[in-house]
Amino acid sequence: MDLSAYRVCRLCPRECGVDRTAGEKGVCGVSAEARVARAALHAWEEPCISGEGGSGTVFFSGCGLRCVFCQNRPIALGEAGQDISTGRLADIFDELEEKGAENLNLVTGAQFVPSILEALSIARGRGNRLPVVYNTGGYERKETLSMLKGAVDVYLVDYKYASPRLAEDCAAAPDYPAVALDAIGEMLSQRGKARFDGEMLKSGVLVRFLLLPSALLDAKLGLKRVFSLCQNRVLYSLMQQYTPMPNVKPPLDRRVSEAEYRSLFDYADALGIENGYTQARESAKESFIPPFDLSGVL
Ligand code: SF4
């Protein structure tokens, strides 16, 4: 495997420049060895991703964004998870196919893109034909996304913050709004208009908007901005599953209200969004978060 991208790491917009092959760690908190916290069928994505069989979800440890309210905090910090070889990662991809997964759903993998590409190449060579879903918080460099061109079928991407102020407050990343919009543009240019095979999304971009408490105007601005760029060539997912973790401070210490969510939905409707998903209020439960217990990893 070509390790050069890990030697002076600029895989994500933090551009830390550390040598992860020597064990140095940047903002994402992980070295060059792929680290995975869970690999299992997951039924809780949008229906066009989960399908009947479940999405073959691989949760990578570490994260370059690190939102203060993260529901996957133990893996975002790189604490939970097991370092594995690319060979083992390829085996995991095959095992998920054997279990009946509809696709490979790679969650927060920017910090391991070279390893992911190597593992995919091994699995493809052995006949693995599952579509690949790249599931990301949106804080991505275009240069890294271009490495994924041709290897990823579906981009499942958040647009988390529309204002630099909110992005600074929540993730110390004031450049997030511009960077993530650029990333979505790159994803759209790679995959084009969303295409389905029956109920399943086979190619395209699905943009998620997780509504945060007291951030309705920001979410509307984000929707408007992404719609201006992509119109109805991408799918939209309006999410109300935000669950306050014990560490968060006001105004993040509550769920979003039904009125806030309804207002976001009405705004999406008024913009002319035709292809989208909404989310039931019951989704806002901690039990919705899968256990990061190394299932399917070892
Ligand atoms: S992947 Fe990690 S080390 Fe590399 S630039 Fe991003 S945060 Fe820094």
Atom of ligand 1 nearest to the CA of 10: 5
Q: Is residue 281 part of a domain?
A: yes
123-134 average pLDDT score: 98
Give the whole-angstrom CA distance, residue 41 versus residue 268.
31
What range does the domain containing 280 cover? 29-288
Supply the DSSP symbol for 18: -
Q: How many domains does the chain have?
A: 1
Q: Is residue 186 part of a domain?
A: yes
For residue 172, give the nearest of 1, 13, 18 by alpha carbon: 13
Neighbours of 19 (CB within 10 A): 17
Atom of ligand 1 nearest to the CA of 110: 1
Q: Is residue 8 part of a domain?
A: no
pLDDT band for position 138 (50/70/90)?
A: very high
Q: Is residue 13 part of a domain?
A: no
Higher pLDDT pick, 79 / 135: 135
285-290 average pLDDT score: 60
Query: 106, 153 in Cβ contact below 8 A?
Result: no
Q: Is residue 164 part of a domain?
A: yes
Q: Is residue 49 part of a domain?
A: yes
252-261 average pLDDT score: 96
- Best mutation site among 4, 7, 15, 16 for ligand 1 pocket (most ligand atoms within 8 Å of CB): 16
99-119 average pLDDT score: 98
**d(CA 143, ligand 1 centre) in Å:** 13
192-199 average pLDDT score: 96
- Residues flanking ligand 1, CB < 6 Å: 9-12, 14-16, 18, 26-28, 64, 111
**d(CA 15, ligand 1 centre) in Å:** 6
Give the whole-angstrom CA distance, residue 91 versus residue 98.
10
Q: Is residue 2 part of a domain?
A: no
Instruction: State which H helix or E strand residue 105 sits in.
Output: strand 104-107
Average pLDDT, the chain: 95
Q: Express each pLDDT in 157-181 by its tens digit.
A: 999 999 999 999 999 999 999 999 9
Give the whole-angstrom CA distance, residue 255 versus residue 35.
31
- Domain of 92, CATH number, reads 3.20.20.70
Q: Is residue 99 part of a domain?
A: yes
**d(CA 179, ligand 1 centre) in Å:** 15
